[in-house]
A and B are shown apart, each in its own frame.
Chain A
Amino acid sequence: MNSAQSQSLNVLLQEIEGIQLTHQNQRRLRADISADALPALLALLRGRAGYVHLSAISCVDWIEDDQFELVYHLWSYETSILISAHIRVARDPGIYLSVFDIYTPAAFFERDIHEMFGLYFEGSPDMSKFILTEWDGPPPMRKDFDSEQWVMDNFTWQDYHPDWLKQIEQQGGGVVKSADSSRKSS
């Protein structure tokens, strides 16, 4: 990218209210905005800055703040700068707007976030389950779902204790059993 493009991009982005821009490096631009302003930002980027490619939508569960962070990674084939737009959505009702009408690929990512985090997107074409169709527990990617506990409750382990191992154990050797605390997920 050249600096003129970068300048014009910066000018363009200032049109959005309350936007905070951070240049992480030459090709990465971080934009923190409020959740309400995001559709406007995306429409602006797609319409006027050539950001036609939605690379991904990531969701982060900030359980201590009781918020979901949604990150929209956008790429322009012209300016070659990747913009990551960060927004925060309250965890409790867990509802946000779909950007499917701006970016078609959003449908898959929103569907994925819905089944993994339970965050509902209004206006998304398909909110049915895709991966976890036969799963009836809580959304597993939430921080309050303890995967390991679920495994311990539902499965048993193969007890492999052959004679040669018993012999070694009699001589004082053997498999070092790790303490359960180290297995526990934090």
Chain B
Amino acid sequence: MRPENYQAVNHPPSHEYELNFGPNHPGIEGNYALKVKLQGDIVIEARADGGYLHRGFEKLMENRLWIQNIALVPRICVPDPVPMEVCYSLAVEDLDDIKVPERAQWLRVLQLELSRIAAHLFTFGGHAATTGMYTPMYWGVTDRDLILDLFEELTGGRVYSIYNLPGGVRQDMPEGFLQRVTQTMDYIDGRLKDYDNLFFTNQIFIRRSKGVGVINQQQALEWGVTGPNLRACGLAFDVRRDDSYLIYDQLDFDIPTEDAGDAWARTLVRRMELVESIRIVRQVVQALPDIKGPVRTPIPNPLAWRVKAGDSYTRVESSKGELAYYIVSNGEEKPYRVHIRGPSSMHAVQVLEKLSVGCRLEDVAQTMFSLDACPPEVDR
């Protein structure tokens, strides 16, 4: 947790003071707060304070129709909304035994992976900005915009697409879309070299981020760390492969891992996942023209749709980690209970509190951004 070049100094306790990170602070992702107690430059106690983004989603969803909730779910995680829609749709399909046409599954994977690329570009831009390097942020957000353009063409929405419904996707893709996906992927592939030169091989950045917020594999399993943060500790686990959904078992992709478990490793894992996601997108682009058929299984009249009673726990891999929905239906027009297990709910509260202790004041923001915590998921 401490940088290698740190030497402990024993300050008298009168040097303790408190500092608030957030809720409105550039070193905090979104609207979230971290209260830290410092001794000199070293954090000795950290306490997360959430709820600034609380909307009561779980309550709202109990009060709305199954189909109305589709418009609600992407709002739960703003930087990476697509897995939310897909996960909800998968859960409802699981409850109501709806079979999804194959073409719809491929389209979902296409959208999921594009969303992952967008989210990762956003994340390491943010991580760079916490260390004072703003150029990767400007580049990353701009390159992410190209993917949002693809979303807009495919779904009509830039960020919230509301494209996945229980039963499939809303509409087929427009003419020539795959060609433009390939173009964008080629462009981002080419830009990765620039990012490497500017950011991932930047000696000062490596010095800043190595040894910050170290989680070892034992702790990661103990604390319930998931997603890229878990893979940065050396455990190759990915819901896409090990608890496979959609058509991920037909795709060829690797699960990149790193062993160090620090902020640097976490960012590097995201960088490598970007390449894997581009690979998946290319495979989907190649396969999609051969898969014919409808993109949606018709569902009953959505305004009077009663989903079969039962419960379902559905997981997908979002860009932040393991995302899960627990949905209980009692055969009514509205869900009886929806529980959302946001991937960040572990990272942003317990893990962040633990990692911050012993961390330098300079590295608190970096720790949070390297964990890729997404506060709206925590608060729901």
- Tell me if chains A and B make direct contact, with any CB pair below 8 A: yes
Cα–Cα distance between A133 and B33 once the two chains are bound (Å): 13
A132: nearest chain-B partner, CB-CB: B51
Selecting from B53-61, B112-120, B277-285, the interface stretch reads B53-61
**In the assembled complex, A164 has its CB within 8 A of some CB on chain B:** no
Q: Is B363 an interface residue (CB 8 A)?
A: no
Contact A73 to B59, CB < 8 A, known contacts A54-B224, A108-B350:
no
A60 and B224 contact, Cβ closer than 8 Å, known pairs A77-B235, A108-B346, A132-B54: no
Contact across chains for B350 and A55 when beta carbons are under 8 A apart: no
The answer to whether B224 touches A133, judged by C-beta atoms less than 8 angstroms apart, is: no
Does B159 interact with chain A (Cβ within 8 Å)? no
Number of A interface residues at 8 Å Cβ cutoff, please give it.
37
Complex: A164 Cα to B237 Cα, angstroms:
58
Chain B: CB-nearest residue to A128: B47
* Cβ-defined contact, A55 with B223, below 8 A: no
Assess whether A27 is in contact with B243, with CB atoms less than 8 Å apart. Answer: yes
Task: Contact check, A147 vs B59: say whether CB atoms are below 8 A apart.
Answer: yes
Q: What is the interface of chain B mostly: helix, strand, loop, or mixed? A: mixed
**Do A56 and B350 have beta carbons less than 8 Å apart?**
no
Chain B residues touching A, range? 35 or more
Instruction: Tell me if B221 and A141 are in contact (CB < 8 A).
Output: no
A58 in contact with B339 (CB, 8 Å):
yes
Interface residues of A in 96-133 (CB under 8 A from B): 103-105, 107-108, 112, 116, 130-133
One of B49, B242, B315 near A55 (C-beta < 8 A): B315
Where chain A touches its partner, the secondary structure class is mixed
A87 at the interface (CB under 8 A from B): no
**Bitwise interface map of B from 301 to 316 toward A, beta carbon under 8 Å scored 1, else 0:** 0000000000101010
Cβ 8 A contact of B326, one of A73, A105, A141, A148: A73
A60 to B50, CA, bound (A): 23
A38 CB–B CB distance under 8 Å? no
Among residues of A, the one whose C-beta sits closest to the C-beta of B349 is A108
- The reply to whether the CB of A170 lies closer than 8 angstroms to some CB of chain B is no
Residues of B contacting A105 with CB < 8 Å?
A: 223-224, 346, 350
Complex: chain A residue closest to B341, CB-CB: A56
Q: Is the CB of A73 within 8 A of B221?
A: no
Give 6 pairs: A residue, B residue, CB < 8 Å, sorted on A: A53-B221, A56-B339, A58-B339, A58-B341, A104-B224, A108-B349
The 3 A-B pairs with the shortest beta carbon distances in the complex, nearest first, are: A105-B224, A131-B51, A56-B341
